[in-house]
Structure 1
Amino acid sequence: MVIKKVSIIGLGALGILFGNQFSKRLPRADLRIIADQDRIQRYQEDGVFCNGEHCDFNYVRPHEACEPADLLIIAVKFNGLADAIQAVKHHVGERTIILSLLNGITSEEIIGEAYGMDKVLYCVAQGMDAVKVENQLIYDHMGMICFGGNKTEKVNSLAEFFEQVEIPYEVDPDMLRRLWGKFMLNVGVNQTVSVFESNYGEVQVEGPARTMMISAMREVMALSEKVGVPLTEEDLDYWLRVLGTLSPDGKPSMAQDVEARRFSEVELFSGTVVKLGKRYDVPTPVNQELYHRIKSVEKQYTMA
């Protein structure tokens, strides 16, 4: 299988970052950004920029009939996933590979229920330090896309394609462990940076923020044992090293949401941890505190 046509839904930080890289290596017509008319109009009027460079994307509306994509990338926030699944239907064919760049540990199964798990490769985007403010994305490190599984033909085709378009990648045969590891990092970093109103730099050095972050991550480690994907100290050290490579001035999307007074993905992080803690009788006091503090901030949005 040769990947030629790529479709992306979601022009958040990752959609812009990888979309911009694809646009430099693919014919314009072969990269399609799926968006509704209102978004397309806004993108065209205001522009979309990546490290100061204007992104000349090819926009298509969800109802437009088209040739199915060889690779479909879903890069929306979790609260937009249901709508995105409906919006991409014309882009999914028998041989389409679907990657989810969403945070959390559930999006692949939700997409698989709609289009079949045979089309979905487990995937984790990691190591990027992108910051998006309105229509401007800035990043120092592109990071990489990790994927894998037992669908050998799809995995090999995707690896060859990423080589061609110069997207950093890693093939990991144990993607469930990788997925839970990234979830552990997100639970710690995204929420801690948000409640401390800081950046990666504050959790890269010893102090109250880093202590809270690691404590939240250890609660995920305890849960991972219960669900049969046990994370170890080695995994914790690995993800802390990944964190250490990020620009100290950068910050996760959740912190950017809180700054902009947008509702965050807290339910995806501490919300999920607290629920799983109750199900498996695992104490999660740090995540309960993070959940409470972020929800308290968001409550102010509706009172202003």
Structure 2
Amino acid sequence: MAIKTVSIVGLGALGILYGHHLSKEMPKKNVRIIADTARIKRYVQDGVYCNGERCDFHYVTPEEICEPADLMIFTVKFSGLEDAIEAVKNQIGKQTIIISALNGITSEAIIGEAYGKDKVLYCVAQGMDAVKEENKLTYEHMGMLCFGEREPGLVSEKVQQVADFFEKMKVPYEIDTDMYKRQWGKFMLNVGVNQTVAVYKSNYGEIQRKGHAREMMISAMREVIVLSEKEGIHLTERDLDYWLSVLDTLSPEGKPSMAQDIEARRYSEVELFAGTILKLGEKYGVPTLVNKELYDRIKLLESQYICN
């Protein structure tokens, strides 16, 4: 089956980036942006922009009945996943393939519980340096989507279908036959990068150069390596070096979503990162002092939203 229709839920950085790209490569109505009526009204009125260009999106409400999508892409934040799963129920059919570009290591399992694990491919978005301010997204590097089956060593028909589609649509991608380890690697990067840049209220440049911020980031990532051993994932220093090399490709002026959230006085995904590490540390009796410091400092910043 060739993929001809795509639905996207979540117009954050990834949703805008991939929605805008695909809408220029496909018939407009074949790329559906799923959003409620109030959001659609705001998007249409204010516009949504990608690198200075107004996006010409085809919006569909959750209630609208239509043919199921061939490919369903989740690009919401983790806090919005439950609502997103409900919002896309009219987009999911027997043949729909689902990928989730969310941070963390749990969204695929949650989506699979709702719509069937057989529909879900594991996915990691990496190498994108986008900055989103209100309704405007800017980026230099598009990055790529890495995806594959949960079970290692398998390139299934679904994986090949998505690869063929991305190839045709000029979407940078990579098939990975050990996706769960790749997810843990990206999680390790997020734990280090997102939280450190947020705490330092800075950008990628701050952690690309030598200094205390970079040391803190790497120390937080090494706590993930220790816990990955306990979970049977077995990340190593080689994996850390790989993800640091990915970090080096990003624009120094860019910044991760958590830093953008703190700047905008929005509540962050700290529970998804340090929160997860602290729970795993407690579970296995492993010290996680750096992530505890990052957790406390981010929570302190968030506590000041109400006070100021």
Q: Which residue of 1 aligns with 2:302?
A: 298
Amino acid at match of 2:215: T
Q: Which residue of 1 aligns with 2:28?
A: 28
Q: Find the aligned partners of 1:108 and 1:250 in 2 and give their Cα distance.
A: 27
Q: Which residue of 2 aligns with 1:6?
A: 6
Residue by residue over 1:43-91, the C-alpha shift from the partner in whole angstroms, topping out at 9 and shown as x without a partner, is 0000000000110100010011110000000000010000000000000
For the residue of structure 1 that corresponds to 2:25, the secondary structure is: coil
Residues 216-231 of structure 1 aligned to structure 2 (within 5 Å): 216-231=220-235
Residue of structure 2 aligned with 1:276, choices 254, 259, 280: 280
- What is the TM-score normalised by the length of structure 1? 0.99
Q: Find the aligned partners of 1:206 and 1:97 in 2 and give their Cα distance.
A: 42
For the residue of structure 1 that corresponds to 2:72, the secondary structure is: strand
Residue by residue over 1:146-203, the C-alpha shift from the partner in whole angstroms, topping out at 9 and shown as x without a partner, is 0012361100000000001100000000001100000000000000000001100010
Q: Find the aligned partners of 1:68 and 1:297 in 2 and give their Cα distance.
A: 42
Structure 2, unmatched stretches of 5+, are none
Give how far 1:300 is off. 1.0
Amino acid at match of 2:105: I
Contact in 1 for aligned 2:196/2:294 (Cα 8 Å): yes
Percent sequence identity over matched residues? 69
More divergent stretch after superposition (118-127 vs 144-153): 144-153
Q: Which residue of 1 aligns with 2:245?
A: 241
The alignment covers a number of residue pairs equal to 304
Instruction: Please tell me whether residue 182 in structure 1 is matched to residue 203 in structure 2.
Output: no
Regions of 4+ moved over 2 Å: none
Q: Find the aligned partners of 2:96 and 2:307 in 1 and give their Cα distance.
A: 45
Give how far 1:303 is off. 2.2
Instruction: Please tell me whether residue 162 in structure 1 is matched to residue 166 in structure 2.
Output: yes
| Cα RMSD, aligned residues only | 0.6
Q: Find the aligned partners of 2:185 and 2:155 in 1 and give their Cα distance.
A: 22
Q: Which residue of 1 aligns with 2:132?
A: 132
Give how far 1:221 is off. 0.4
Q: Find the aligned partners of 1:303 and 1:249 in 2 and give their Cα distance.
A: 30
Q: Find the aligned partners of 2:212 and 2:91 in 1 and give their Cα distance.
A: 47
Q: Find the aligned partners of 1:148 and 1:99 in 2 and give their Cα distance.
A: 9
Q: Find the aligned partners of 1:69 and 1:203 in 2 and give their Cα distance.
A: 40
Contact in 1 for aligned 2:155/2:177 (Cα 8 Å): no
Q: Find the aligned partners of 1:166 and 1:282 in 2 and give their Cα distance.
A: 44
For the residue of structure 2 that corresponds to 1:269, the secondary structure is: helix
Q: Find the aligned partners of 2:112 and 2:163 in 1 and give their Cα distance.
A: 21
For the residue of structure 1 that corresponds to 2:141, the secondary structure is: coil
For the residue of structure 1 that corresponds to 2:164, the secondary structure is: helix
Structure 1, unmatched stretches of 5+, are none
Q: Find the aligned partners of 1:96 and 1:221 in 2 and give their Cα distance.
A: 35
Amino acid at match of 1:160: D
Q: Find the aligned partners of 1:40 and 1:240 in 2 and give their Cα distance.
A: 38
Q: Which residue of 1 aligns with 2:144?
A: 144
Q: Which residue of 2 aligns with 1:232?
A: 236
Instruction: Please tell me whether residue 263 in structure 1 is matched to residue 267 in structure 2.
Output: yes
Amino acid at match of 1:191: Q
- What is the TM-score normalised by the length of structure 2? 0.98
Residue of structure 1 aligned with 2:202, choices 198, 205, 208: 198
Residues 90-129 of structure 1 aligned to structure 2 (within 5 Å): 90-129=90-129
Give how far 1:301 is off. 1.1
Give how far 1:119 is off. 0.3
Q: Which residue of 1 aligns with 2:81?
A: 81
